[in-house]
Structure 1
């Protein structure tokens, strides 16, 4: 995690102080959003260190499971506040943001530095196919409700309690698919390892293999230049050197940090969610905009930075793995968990997305597949993806609440 993220940790005590002083909703919202960024990064960092201790398979499972922990926590807080529409928008926004904003920024900055970046079209095609299947499965309840309304005027095929039961059934199926996804990608069940094709430029050989998953598990926090020189800088300082040694050679410290940061994230998420409705009345901020744009950026900022850093180091395949893997985890893990949790909490969450969100799902799957066809990317492609995301953000900002 980079130094500027550590500086943002100052927003965490600030938001608790502001809460006790009954500060304005806008100030609480800004401080909570800033505080969640480094907290999400610390969850990923602690998970990565635990993965080093527990081995490749268990480590990959931890990375895949906790990759979207911050978003799940925020979603649970929103369900507790009775805001299922914000949760649906945040799920859609995470998938859309990964494919448009994060991948676009990675391609833009990486392409500007390296002009053209190559990656394995076949491996990227596997990401694209899994992403398409995942988002289609998550959007099926919406399609059934919409088709019913169009073919039977005044009566949908699924509505109310039926739609809720359908969403629970789809959530269970998606969780089974997630287990299969982990078995294939993390543990390599019934997969074939292949050597990189001769003459193919890959990210130092990281993504030219047939096994998709080991990269998805370990590409969540790629190693950058700052990470490589950090141990050398701390060796000459006794205190920081001992902290570094304890952090990387003990199991209890990462576990303690993971538990503590998760608890703090839950409290800050409650404060953030609690300001959404006051902001709607005081500032006129659209809850749909908060869910679709702001919450996904806040919950995944550290992971987004990792994808962009990888592209700038000419590891475009790692960026593709991070963006696709995060979107797949949202569809196959985060969404089902929130649907089932909503049923238990008495705040039903149906997978009945709006027509705009379902259309964007289809567009994201199409764009991801289209980008992977030629096995290369340029800064112009990244710019166009970012521009489309900006148009979407501006459009939802001015949508009446």
Structure 2
């Protein structure tokens, strides 16, 4: 976290550069370097609040604010009409979490502890829900790609809204499942995650959370404003920016937390960060973005064919690797290898 503290210097630098009207590409880089430590502070703030609110509410806050950065970035991208960036960032978050984060956690945790075990029941529930969520997210796209375009009409726009409503309802029901009807399944993981005492007062934690959110919103506008300039100057596609760069920028602090937990032999926490965050992206963040797009130009929830394949493959592999309740460094390498292949494929688009 000390490195993240030093990176806060990029916040005033980005404001000065914005005042001096430097190139949008430079503003993208400065905003990205500013968002990473701010996301880290936001995560630290929610972690401190969890000591006062209890494990259940604390875990919910961690998951919610862990994805808040990406939600804010995507909102400004929606405002600018960068729908492909928004949709690819949704797919990229899921792919990054279940391949990059989970893979790195298993690799570094496995190198230190050889073989690690985790709560199989919790992972089975989360993995099954993730598989359902991805299938639900893919159905509108599969429908569009298989039906003759001439047969589609304006009513199709309502399909995205309907799917978003169903996703939100499933998300609410999943909270009821984990917090109330089947909370005993998650008891051990929650206990492991919440050892220790608070370092900050409740008022300080809430203040840090609010201030971090405000600055992330400002920096996100700088970031989105430089996307088109960056893609033109470096020859990158919007797909690569959305599916690789934005998820890494928005979730860098959360990713490092998962790896640290794995190295401390807390694989339950690491896996829940990876899979739980992916679930919330699909079941909560994606529907919210669909609803927010109605304020500007309605956005469909249709992904291109390669995004669909990458999503389904990532989730299937993650399900297979985590199905036995144990992990090792080789499984981590396998997940990372798939992620690198996917990233390279989007790079050349």
Normalising by the smaller structure, the TM-score range is over 0.9
How far 1:366 sits from its partner (Å)? 0.9
Tell me if the contact between 1:131 and 1:328 (Cα under 8 Å) persists in the aligned partners. Answer: yes
1:155 is aligned to: 150
Partner secondary structure for residue 327 of structure 2: strand
Contact 2:56 2:190 in 1 (8 A): no
1:106-165 CA-partner distances (Å, limit 9, x unpaired): 11111111122222333322221011011111222112112213xxxx435x45x33321
Of 268, 285, 293, which aligns to 2:236?
A: 285
For 1:14-53, what aligned pairs fall within 5 Å after superposition? 14-53=13-52
- Report the CA distance between 1:278 and its aligned residue: 1.2
- Alpha-carbon RMSD: 2.1
Q: Which residue of 1 aligns with 2:170?
A: 177
* CA distance in 2: counterparts of 1:172 and 1:42, whole angstroms: 32
Larger gyration radius, structure 1 or structure 2: 1
- What residue in structure 2 maps to residue 254 of structure 1? 205
The equivalent residue for 1:211 is 186
Give, in angstroms, the shift of residue 96 of structure 1. Answer: 0.3
Query: As a proportion of its length, which structure holds more helix?
Result: 2
Q: CA deviation at 1:270?
A: 0.6
Determine if contact 2:177/2:183 at 8 Å carries over to the other structure: no
Counterpart-to-counterpart distance in 2, 1:357 and 1:364: 10
Residue 317 in structure 1 maps to residue 292 in structure 2: no
1:207 corresponds to which residue? none
Whether the 8 Å contact between 1:63 and 1:217 is mirrored in structure 2 is no
Residues 34 and 114 of structure 1, relative CA distance in 2, 3 Å threshold: same
Is the Cα–Cα contact under 8 Å of residues 118 and 377 in structure 1 kept in the other structure? yes
Give me the whole-angstrom Cα distance separating, in 2, the residues matched to 1:30 and 1:299.
Answer: 13
Instruction: Give the CA deviation at 1:391.
Output: 1.5
Structure 1 residue 82: Cα displacement: 1.0
Aligned twin of 1:367: 317
Residue 286 (structure 2) aligned to one of 335, 344, 349: 335
The answer to whether the 8 A contact 2:55-2:190 is kept is no
Q: Provide the rounded CA distance (Å) in 2 between the counterparts of 1:14 and 1:192.
A: 46
Q: Which runs of 5+ in 2 are unaligned?
A: none
Match of 1:387 in 2: 337
| TM-score, length basis structure 2 | 0.93
Unaligned stretches of 5+ residues in structure 1: 194-209, 232-244
Counterpart selection for 1:355 from 305, 321, 331: 305
Once the two structures are superposed, residues 174-222 of structure 1 have per-residue CA deviations (whole angstroms, 9 ceiling, x without a partner) of 111111111122x2x22263xxxxxxxxxxxxxxxx237x847985xx8
Match of 1:105 in 2: 104
CA distance in 2, matches of 1:336, 1:215: 28
| Distance apart, 1:58 and its partner CA | 3.4
CA distance in 2, matches of 1:342, 1:217: 39
Count of aligned residue pairs for this structure pair: 349
Cα 1:174/1:277, change in 2 over 3 Å: same
Inter-CA distance 39–192: structure 2 relative to 1 (3 Å threshold):
closer
Q: Provide the C-alpha distance between the structure 2 equivalents of 1:91 and 1:325, rounded to a whole number of angstroms.
A: 14
* Counterpart residue number, 1:96: 95
SS in 2 for 1:117: strand
